[in-house]
Structure 1
């Protein structure tokens, strides 16, 4: 089912599934009237061996993308939630993870982790499972054993959960809608906002936009994207090219606006 929207303006539908795409999942993806991003949740259970379950889930996501034409991203949901919400791992759980770095528990299964005798109280181990599951616990212990502090633990969980890849994918899918939603305007702030949104759109399409900050870089960028906007491109990209050129000319003017011979 669709469980989230990318923004209040409903730029993107986010469809979450686990294990496999069912016929009803494929129907939702095919019938969405907005850009849609699919999330392969519980990627930490996608199989072991090789480079690990998330790597296996990533390979499966590529196959599903080719099959459906929709961007599909893996996610280890509990680890991702802990990584983006620093209240999930409270001091009690952080201390428990630290204990596990020197006094390992049985991580072979959730039942064994919760039931096998250990100096951590069973209730604390159950909280760890509820907040992080075995996957998050294992990666948290590895990070702390390697010398990570709380911030380093969050970084490790973000990396392990693949949440940043998903967030980047949502940004790519939402870029055209954000661009279209910006109202026309001529103030420096409005021109800059449209330029930034236009750059996000063309970068999402795989193109490169120079980030130079000198007057000559701004002018060269303006010329490049003005030419692009006059080429055989879609209406959206024609508008984006014009906005990048317009914003670059504003920056060129603010940088001195002195004409010079371009290479």
Structure 2
């Protein structure tokens, strides 16, 4: 993968500094360079049974991650792009053992090895999605299996290297870790979800995940009872949308957004789990009278036991693939259009899953900003490595080199990400309304969203960008504390660049 311009600039900085630092720091720089040239690493995290592996399968477009509790769900699995499908078992001593996927194309249910000796799994797939993202499936936080949680923390936050150039604990924690987080929640956000989300560092150096590199998914939206959500009007998806918005407020500023989704429906529709045979069975059920259909959909037991032309075994298969809500959605689609083809029915189910919105947000928050996220994470790692070295001269050389890089106009995005991190982490205190504005300007890739004027006409955007640029410049000079002034100058510059981007001053 070719690094973007910001990542390339940080890579050049590491290369220039390597001869000027000690061997430990140089080893860390080598790892930073390797990661700068690799796809963005996105960890799918969350509590046990939240549906993480199901979401992973939907994202990749193949049913490869095991979703039932078993050996592999206790291990961290990294999914990479590869020209040959294979699984590598990586042991704690550095050894690797290659395994094929099983007959169904999934990671084998049993690895045939002692799990206590396993560090993690590396899975390579010919999936186009993985050209841009490395997807990391993690064991559930809150599991009773302490070893599984420890593996998650070790793999995402760092694990010991091997050999003479192995990094010490502080150094490895500065260079190993997911660069972005997709956090999965269900209807209730527990008090420790916020803490668990913060524990997944973006590149470490204790730089916590935030709205630049973290989004959340409200999974299993089909289990929501609409009547319990005020303002839903009894509509399931409206209820899910309202609940997701509430959770976004609860998790702020840890995540950029919370999006509702039905993971099982997305997995089945996106990974080839929905077949023409399934469509034919649903078509037979759709032909039943409305009262019978409604009765069968009251519970799984009734759906399986009610007298119907579709065999019970087929109905059980439909339940495992779609659940009752998905089946009801399919029947509604077929009732509205009895001639619907299997392909169009699959697309209708996919649309009903909410996956498209999640993928769009991934593109907006992660993929479109991967260069900046990776470069910022790398700079945080470089800073932490120099700090951990214990050599004041080395720290100063690294600091000076970074300041020279950040002074360049093309590096402004890094300044903005740094300012956003300072504000959202509480290192720089800001009035709530100004903190919200910093978060908005730094947390989106779309100009109208950065300005808080989504869908507004171009002249209004242009005028507002110039107005806010002037306001933040004045604030930086009069009334701001020194720390606030540093952030204010960055936000002023961001607004001015937006104004230029919109055509301001071009005449």
Question: Which range, TM-score by smaller chain?
Answer: 0.5 to 0.7
Q: Is the 8 A contact 1:229 1:238 kept in 2?
A: no
Distance 1:143 1:176, change over 3 A: closer
Most deviating of 8-17 and 233-242: 233-242
Partner of 1:192: none
Partner of 2:216: 38
Superimposed CA distance per residue, residues 64-108 of structure 1 (whole angstroms, 9 cap, x where no aligned partner): 22222132221111122233x151111210111111110254111
| Aligned-partner Cα distance in 1 for 2:275–2:367 | 35
Q: Is the 8 A contact 1:64 1:72 kept in 2?
A: yes
| Aligned-partner Cα distance in 2 for 1:181–1:61 | 25
Q: Which runs of 5+ in 1 are unaligned?
A: 185-198, 213-220, 249-258
Q: Return the offset for 1:43.
A: 0.8
Distance 1:13 1:142, change over 3 A: same
Partner of 1:128: 318
CA RMSD of aligned residues (A): 4.1
| Aligned-partner Cα distance in 2 for 1:175–1:201 | 13
2:285 maps to 1:100: yes
2:359 maps to 1:167: yes
Q: Is the 8 A contact 1:75 1:161 kept in 2?
A: yes
Q: Is the 8 A contact 2:365 2:445 kept in 1?
A: no
Q: Is the 8 A contact 1:16 1:41 kept in 2?
A: yes
Q: Which has the larger radius of gyration?
A: 2
Partner of 1:202: 447
| Aligned-partner Cα distance in 2 for 1:66–1:132 | 30
Partner of 2:240: 57
Of the three residues 274, 290, 293, the one matched with 1:89 is 274
| Aligned-partner Cα distance in 1 for 2:243–2:187 | 10
Q: Is the 8 A contact 1:12 1:173 kept in 2?
A: no
Distance 1:209 1:18, change over 3 A: closer
Most deviating of 85-94 and 164-173: 164-173
| Aligned-partner Cα distance in 2 for 1:108–1:228 | 57
| Aligned-partner Cα distance in 1 for 2:192–2:266 | 26
Superimposed CA distance per residue, residues 16-73 of structure 1 (whole angstroms, 9 cap, x where no aligned partner): 1223112221212344433421211111111045343332122111112222213222
2:180 maps to 1:12: yes
Of the three residues 275, 297, 301, the one matched with 1:111 is 301
The alignment's TM-score, normalised by the length of structure 1, stands at 0.68
Distance 1:244 1:114, change over 3 A: farther
Distance 1:67 1:237, change over 3 A: same
Following superposition of structure 1 onto structure 2, how do residues 64-75 of structure 1 map, counting pairs within 5 Å?
64-69=247-252, 70=255, 71-75=257-261
Distance 1:182 1:14, change over 3 A: closer
Distance 1:203 1:155, change over 3 A: farther
Q: How many residue pairs were aligned?
A: 232
Q: Return the offset for 1:209.
A: 9.6
Name the one with the larger helix percent.
1
Distance 1:93 1:171, change over 3 A: same
Q: Which runs of 5+ in 2 are unaligned?
A: 1-44, 47-51, 60-131, 136-177, 201-207, 228-232, 376-407, 409-443, 473-487
Q: Is the 8 A contact 1:16 1:38 kept in 2?
A: yes
Of the three residues 216, 221, 225, the one matched with 1:47 is 225
Following superposition of structure 1 onto structure 2, how do residues 185-196 of structure 1 map, counting pairs within 5 Å?
none
